[in-house]
Amino acid sequence: MSGLYATYWQARALGASLQLLPGRRLRILGLERLPAALQQELSHLLEEQEEELSWLACLDAGRAIPRGELAGLPLLRPRRAGGYIRAVVQ
């Protein structure tokens, strides 16, 4: 899971963002600005761990997550800039 966090935050630091689409699907914006290796890793994560990546993007964006979905959520406290992001529970 740490590879997921590291890749996500590195991509965000370099100007990429993940747009949440209906059905918790993701679109990567600014992918072309990233180094080739990071583009490849982020694309791989999007294919292999889309749900986890969407949870992280959801938490990063401060979006609400339904209480019933929190039980299986592996990403409750992703680190960012020395602090923590908290899930907003509906």
At 90 the pLDDT is 34
pLDDT digits (tens, 9 = 90+) for 5-55: 889 889 999 999 888 777 767 888 898 999 999 999 998 988 888 888 887
Q: Where are the domains of the chain?
A: 2-89
pTM: 0.65
54, 20 Cβ separation under 8 angstroms: yes
Q: What is the mean pLDDT of residues 50-63?
A: 80
Is residue 86 helix, strand or coil? coil
- pLDDT value, residue 67: 60
More confident call, 67 vs 75 = 67
Using only C-alpha atoms, what is the Rg of the chain? 13
How is residue 67 written in tokens?
């209480």
Picking from 64, 45, 2, the residue whose alpha carbon sits closest to that of residue 18 is 45
User: Stretch 73-82: mean pLDDT, rounded?
Assistant: 47
